[in-house]
């Protein structure tokens, strides 16, 4: 993501035939050690899965057959596969929590992808410098592979690390792996995402979806809103900083505000201490402008419901052809911040929460947007990021 609208032609060079959202068949299988896979599709009147946080989750209602019983217990796996035309695609593979039973006829099951297995136990971890195998420390992928091996989680693909690390901590496995790649991010600037692929951990660099979906006339509903950057935004930033060290240290002070915004919202001051600013007053002024824009920004968001599309994951980009809601032309490219799929009574829908802010953007990339918003605020209006921006 950059401070300007991306040139989509650089990424998506040709147009494919229209797809028919919702025109998919699904197979839901129960996987148990020592047993053949059991097809649960006919026994499952409702199924939902949500890709919102670090761990994807699902919930299902499963009816017991008239004859016999379905044995489903904690630790068993559910696998969902989508079928269309002559193709098929494994949507997810998740592990069940202990199910609950209603009236002896219905099982309510919650499941999570195997990232949850990395969070199930808090253990002591030690990654020291060691003569022979790790004389200078451990790379992020070596730490991730060690954690997965200890917790019994399969590895699909790990982004290679370059920075040598050493640490001792008490934490769950996912926090250890996240810490390792955060340190790698500081060293190399890599942006990564953690996800399960066919039941195995994949840590890969952020890259956009190979196909860009355009949503418009087929949408069942679209609700747009403008979200305030801060719940109680300030309108005046009083910034303090210093330049230099020791006897040569100079104190810096700057007050940043916009008369029109103060008139619109009111006088709400905040004192911010920025520490050292080696760039002097110009740097302090820029930081004050950036902080003010961060508090005042309005982020255009939307929640859309469409006939189901199982391929979209959190963080991927889509196009919204909704001119009346402000999503059109160069303002139609947005990112999915949460994805919820629902199968019930033969109907399949996907609910997308989208925003103009990339959920995987680095701090430096967001600062570019705040710089842009601070320039907009100088025109006298409340800055907006995304559709509706002037």
| Residue-level pLDDT, tens digit, the chain, 390 residues | 233 344 555 545 555 556 666 678 899 999 998 999 999 988 999 999 998 876 789 999 999 988 888 999 998 999 999 887 778 888 888 889 999 988 878 999 999 887 878 888 899 999 999 888 899 999 999 999 999 999 989 999 998 888 899 999 999 999 999 999 988 877 555 567 788 777 788 888 766 667 777 777 666 665 655 444 444 567 788 899 999 887 788 899 998 887 777 776 677 788 889 888 988 999 999 888 887 776 665 556 778 888 888 888 887 878 877 776 666 665 577 788 889 999 988 788 899 888 766 655 555 555 554 455 445 444 444 434 343 333
C-alpha–C-alpha distance, residues 201 and 208, integer Å = 19
Tokens of 319: 């196009």
C-alpha–C-alpha distance, residues 344 and 48, integer Å = 8
**3 state SS of 216:** coil
C-alpha–C-alpha distance, residues 274 and 284, integer Å = 8
Cα end-to-end distance, the chain, whole Å: 19
Give every CB contact of residue 131 below 8 A, 6+ residues apart in sequence: none
Q: For 93-112, give one letter per residue: b (16+ CB within 10 A) or e.
A: bbbbbebeeeeeeebebebb
C-alpha–C-alpha distance, residues 143 and 179, integer Å = 10
The beta strand positions in 19-118, using DSSP E, are 25-31, 38-39, 46-51, 57-63, 77-84, 87-96, 100-102, 106-113
C-alpha–C-alpha distance, residues 190 and 206, integer Å = 8
pTM more than 0.85: no
Tell me the angle at which helices 363-377 and 281-296 cross, rounded to the nearest 10 degrees.
90
- Do the beta carbons of residue 326 and residue 204 sit within 8 Å? no
C-alpha–C-alpha distance, residues 225 and 3, integer Å = 21
Partners of 307 in the beta sheet? 349
Q: For 62-85, give one letter per residue: b (16+ CB within 10 A) or e.
A: bebeeeeeeebeeebbbbbbbeee
Partners of 139 in the beta sheet? none
């Amino acid at each position: 993501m950059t401070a300007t609208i991306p040139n989509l032609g650089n990424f998506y060079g040709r147009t494919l035939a229209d797809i028919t959202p919702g025109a998919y068949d699904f197979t839901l299988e129960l996987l148990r050690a020592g047993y053949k896979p059991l097809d649960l599709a006919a026994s499952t009147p409702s199924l939902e899965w949500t890709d919102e946080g670090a761990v994807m989750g699902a919930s299902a209602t499963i009816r017991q057959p008239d004859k016999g019983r379905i044995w489903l217990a904690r630790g068993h796996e559910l696998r969902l596969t989508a079928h269309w035309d002559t193709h098929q695609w494994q949507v997810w593979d998740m592990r069940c929590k202990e199910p609950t039973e209603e009236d002896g006829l219905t099982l309510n099951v919650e499941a999570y992808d195997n990232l949850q297995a990395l969070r199930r136990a808090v253990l002591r971890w030690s990654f020291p410098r060691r003569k022979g195998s790790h004389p200078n420390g451990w790379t992020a992928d070596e730490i991730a592979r060690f954690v997965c091996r200890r917790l019994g989680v399969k590895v699909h693909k790990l982004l290679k690390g370059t920075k040598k690390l050493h640490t001792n901590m008490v934490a769950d496995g996912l926090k250890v792996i996240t810490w390792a790649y955060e340190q790698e991010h500081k060293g190399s600037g890599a942006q990564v995402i953690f996800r399960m692929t066919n039941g195995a951990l994949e840590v890969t660099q952020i890259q956009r979806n190979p196909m860009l979906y355009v949503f418009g006339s087929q949408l069942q509903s679209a609700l747009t809103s403008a979200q305030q950057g801060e719940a109680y935004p300030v309108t005046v930033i009083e910034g303090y900083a210093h330049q230099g060290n020791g006897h040569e240290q100079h104190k810096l002070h700057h007050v940043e505000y916009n008369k029109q915004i103060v008139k619109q919202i009111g006088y709400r001051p905040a004192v911010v201490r920025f520490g050292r600013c080696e760039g002097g007053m110009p740097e302090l002024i820029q930081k004050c402008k950036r902080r003010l824009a961060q508090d005042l920004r309005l982020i255009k968001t939307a929640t859309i419901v469409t006939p189901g599309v199982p391929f979209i994951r959190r963080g991927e980009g889509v196009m919204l052809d909704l001119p009346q809601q402000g999503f059109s032309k160069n303002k139609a490219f947005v990112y999915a911040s949460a994805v919820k799929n629902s199968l019930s009574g033969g109907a399949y829908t996907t609910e997308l929460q989208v925003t103009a802010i990339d959920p995987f953007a680095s701090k430096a990339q967001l600062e570019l947007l705040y710089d842009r918003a601070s320039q907009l605020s100088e025109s006298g209006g409340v800055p907006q990021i995304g559709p509706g921006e002037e």
